[in-house]
Amino acid sequence: MQSKYIGCVNGGKSRYNEDQAAASQFYLSCGHHTSNGSVTNNNRPKPPNSQYTEVMVTYMGIFDGHAGTGAALTASHLLETHLQEKLTEVKENILELEESEIVTPLHSAITADRLIVGALEAAFCSLDEQMARERTTFAIRGGCTALVAIFLLNTLYVANAGDCRAILSINDEIVPMSRELCPGAEMQRLQTMAFSNPGLLRNEFSNRSFCRRIWKEDIGKKVLCKEPMSEGWVYREVTSDDIRSPLVRGEGKKSRLMDTIGVSRCLGDHDLLVFGTDIRIKPFLIPLPEVKTFNFNKTSLTENDVLIMGSDGLWDVMSNQDAVSIVKAVLQQHTTQDPLRYTIAAKALVAHSRGTASDKGWRMDNDEDASFDDITAFVIPLHMVKKVGIRL
């Protein structure tokens, strides 16, 4: 597997690299009924005349830690194990539905894709529960965002909880495989949760979103407002309760949840409090990832088609097109026989974002500010993982 991962500690931001990553391949072993009704499994030898199937899974993950390295290190070592357990529980069903041409009305919503997505979601949540139980025993401090990609049965699954990003570059087309889950992007979910559980706000925050900051002088005036569970904006008369700090302040990457954190999904952070209070933020910071899929059955791939994954330290100073252009330039300079071409491409992404030190600080080649965050990048050749699948 030529999944190439490059990382660096950037700009003296921290003593330890809070970014962590993992890459591996493993098999799901599936037993099929034999003529006499016996079934094979991982704990028994294969009986005669049985069909024994192994399904390869290619796994890659980026874990961007904050407030310490504990959560990112834990996730980089354990999330794969949780995922294997969840996939193992449904492996027989996955193969049956993958091979089946008829789905009964009762199970019309159950597909192999949905089972795999469910396993990814359950793995994230299961690991987060383990972190909660063991955070004191093993000093699992802080939290981490997580971006995981798996190749299974000729399909790519990308699970994202946080602000890392993954894109496909195929035949000169860029396909986003994740979106940055910051508080501003999940305003409606956060407001709805606060509306349903007002005690979580402890009378310190408002679950309404106004078009501008609200002051005492605005009491009694009508200001455009977005109510919880609403898509649109309406005029609302401001009350004294609306002067509280908004649940989400700012927009885009600059948005903050409870004036504290810039992501709305992550692993860990079970002890994170609003500064100067005992208000816990974790109820709003769910570990459930968003999962996107891409099936390669009808896609012709070349050696220059890749999956690019990166932590936010990469994307803070680089657009999707910038990343693709840098990778393509490197791949064109190296022949397809060069085993290091994808490693060099990942290294080029990190080097471009990191920039170089100057008397004006860290600067990129265009003299713009470089990233001061830790940076991690994967460049994965798609043609090498497309055909890995079932082995009999």
Output the six-digit token pair for 290.
Answer: 């968003």
**Would you say residue 112 has pLDDT above 70?**
yes
Mean pLDDT across the chain, nearest whole number? 88
**Would you say residue 108 has pLDDT above 80?**
no
Among the ranges given (140-144, 164-168, 365-369), the one the predictor scored with the smallest mean pLDDT: 365-369
Q: For residue 353, give Cα distances in angstroms to 308, 318, 371.
A: 14, 7, 6
DSSP tag of 262: S
**Would you say residue 196 has pLDDT above 90?**
yes
Cα dihedral sign, 93-97-99-102:
positive
**Would you say residue 45 has pLDDT above 50?**
no
Q: Which whole number is the average pLDDT over 310-316?
A: 95
Q: Which whole number is the average pLDDT over 18-33?
A: 83
**Would you say residue 295 has pLDDT above 50?**
yes
Looking at residue 285, what is its pLDDT?
97
Q: How confident is the model at residue 47 (pLDDT cuts 50, 70, 90)?
A: very low
Going by C-alpha positions, the residue among 39, 45, 41, 44 that lies closest to residue 28 is 41
**Would you say residue 273 has pLDDT above 80?**
yes
CA 81 to chain CA mean position, Å: 17
Q: Which whole number is the average pLDDT over 107-134?
A: 92
Comparison of pLDDT for 392 and 119, the residue scoring more = 119
Q: Which whole number is the average pLDDT over 318-324?
A: 96
b/e for 342-381, b at 16 or more Cβ within 10 A? bbbbbbbbbbbbbbeeeeeebebeeeeebbbbbbbbbbbb
**Would you say residue 43 has pLDDT above 50?**
no
| Rounded distance between C-alpha atoms, residue 332 and residue 335, angstroms | 7
Q: Which whole number is the average pLDDT over 251-267?
A: 95
Looking at residue 46, what is its pLDDT?
45
Output the six-digit token pair for 78.
Answer: 């354990």
Q: Which whole number is the average pLDDT over 154-168?
A: 97
The pTM (predicted TM-score) of the whole model is: 0.90
Q: Which whole number is the average pLDDT over 116-128?
A: 98
**Would you say residue 3 has pLDDT above 70?**
no
Determine phi and psi for 171, rounding to 5 degrees.
50, 45
Q: How confident is the model at residue 388 (pLDDT cuts 50, 70, 90)?
A: low
